[in-house]
Structure 1
């Protein structure tokens, strides 16, 4: 497949607004991707991610701002002239046409020579491993096979930009995982530029080179999967990304030399104190109420890696959830349920007192009122 035309950004969205009547759906959206990037727009239902995708596609007209594809402004450019291909949640296949005809239909309408249609069909069918299905009708296919056909129809267009609108949400859990791997493989094989909408944060983490987390029409954070996961910009991102999500624990911080003491209250017993091996700005001469963010894997049983620096506290076990390769253990800290990820074979039961080891090297600290990240 041919490379997209050389452009600094294959997609650039600048100061984009979108309103439906008096209701503002998108608010000052700014995002850009390089050729070959896999951008995932993620957020809860109603956050504006599909509206943003539709604005990029030209299916919705933006109220303000500008969208550029391949360095060219899309103001006034119709969807068919934007050099994009879209894969929908509903597959949108023609039921009376065979798989082969579904894939080549767009090329036929555009007047592509038949030999070229056949060459592209064979190339894409082989790539997607659907060459044995070309004479079947959509009704004779499984959900995963239909999704491959919808992807094939997009791929033969060889566009500058692929747009995926929750393409896996109609599939069962096992098939979703398989198709996720398939889309990742396709991206790596083709080096295609992709914008992908999902509400599934696991999908976002596994597929993306860049993630944009949205809430109420506003970008909360944009970054690599690693940045989003390990340095969430605020408590919304911390809570939304990750499964189980980040533990958000009310705590008090106090500077002790070049370290920071963390005090956490408990309702049914004495509080615990932990020592963080770094200094937090703005603590001179007093304590500060914060929200301590710790991923479940940063809290483990005392036999694990986290116990090395001696940050261990005895906690009461409320719930034990075996999960195959791990065991999730729930306790209560600061009046909140806190989930620890422990070894699969940990010998622990609800009601036990057990040692929990805390790895504070990846802790996030948030401002309680605004939810913004402090450190």
Structure 2
């Protein structure tokens, strides 16, 4: 099946300043692609290049099998939902949604049918006669999405559409967008700086930094096998623990030695570790460090660590210790016996460990 969106060797510069560097991304029909990264990484610029709002410096963009590199935005068969809603304040909700169809000369019967269909999908039928000033932020965002949906485009583009909403409404709208994608089977490209949005919405994630793609993969691939230290640290809340360590082979596998606050180094033995340099960064997600009396198994190794901080968080409790000179977070059950200033037996799941090279951050296993 041909990709619905195919970006090849794309560059974008402003004068001598390179914003996007050799971007290569392809998504299949029905994919939900999320571009994620910190502010200034180039994700919104890339979205604008796909939309045709920004001319590219080099490379090519193909949408639904047609080269769109030099094509005007209005002829790209796309629909875009902006962060700022961009609604006409003097028009009713119904007219905002159908305005684009009216401009394109769509007959009134088709306009009415599409309006009815989209209003039902987004549950905004009671709002059709109101103006944007009479709507909440969440309602305005639904109208902006409705205006995109009536176009029935080859590709939907979302530019941080939830960033103006409060935390509770963000979660609700995130669910609505996910359900909408499942219902329509539409192809979507979505920009966000929020890695939780990326993980929950995407079928495929592109992690960016400094105009360069760091990793492309499914949410599970990005989370469980980050390609480098940046992705490991950026994706996940709390972030992956990245612990400086020493590694050396012994008869049972590879011995991993980690400095421990107020005591002898912590020594773990990984029987399945690859060949590692003497200095290595060990990565473990907080949920892969448990209280020893709660979770043990073949892949777990137990060591006593001094507890620095205990943070109750409802169903979970975050327990922090200092390992390798870094604060390390363990996600434990709410009834944990951990107390600040006292030792606790931690169980480390070496079956879930990631290893990274300190000098360039690349993944080693």
Q: Which of the residues 59, 64, 67 maps onto 1:70?
A: 64
2:333 pairs with 1:359: no
Q: Which residue of 2 aligns with 1:112?
A: 106
CA distance in 2, matches of 1:310, 1:298: 9
Distance 2:31 2:104 in 1: 28
Distance of 1:306 and 1:26 partners within structure 2:
46
Deviation at 1:252? 1.3
Deviates more, 1:178-187 or 1:252-261: 252-261
Matched residue of 1:149: which SS?
Answer: helix
> Which residue, out of 281, 298, 317, partners 1:291?
281
User: How many residues of Structure 1 are paired with residues of Structure 2 in the alignment?
Assistant: 365
Structure 1 pair 116–186 and aligned structure 2 pair: CA distance change class (3 A): same
Root-mean-square deviation (Å): 1.1
Between 75-84 and 344-353, report the one with greater CA deviation. 344-353
Match of 1:320 in 2: 310
Structure 1: distance between partners of 2:201 and 2:165: 17
Kindly indicate whether residue 25 of structure 2 is the aligned counterpart of residue 35 of structure 1.
no
Contact 2:214 2:231 in 1 (8 A): yes
Gapped regions of structure 1 (runs ≥ 5): 1-6
1:337 aligns with 2:327: yes
Asked if structure 1 preserves the Cα contact closer than 8 Å seen for 2:35 and 2:205, the reply is yes
Equivalent in 177, 188, 192 of residue 183 of structure 1: 177
Q: Distance in 2 between matches of 1:118 and 1:19?
A: 43
Aligned residue for 1:347?
337
After superposition, give the CA deviation of every residue in 1:283-336 in whole Å (9 maximum; x if it has no partner). Answer: 5xxx61100000000001112324555511111111111110100000000000
| Equivalent residue, structure 2, for 1:276 | 270
Structure 1 SS opposite 2:60: strand
- Which of 156, 161, 165 is 2:159 aligned to? 165
Alpha-carbon offset, residue 251 of structure 1: 0.7
What is aligned with 1:95? Answer: 89
User: Partners of 2:102 and 2:300 in 1: how far apart?
Assistant: 68
Question: Gaps spanning 5+ residues in structure 2: where?
Answer: none
Task: Choose which of 144, 153, 164 in structure 2 pairs with 1:150.
Answer: 144
Change (3 A) 1:341 1:28: same
Relative to structure 1, the CA distance from residue 65 to residue 298 in structure 2 (aligned partners, 3 Å threshold; closer, same or farther) is same
Structure 2 contact 299–350 (Cα < 8 Å) conserved: no
- Under a length normalisation based on structure 2, what TM-score does the superposition of the two structures give? 0.98
Deviation of 1:267 after TM superposition, in Å, equals: 4.2
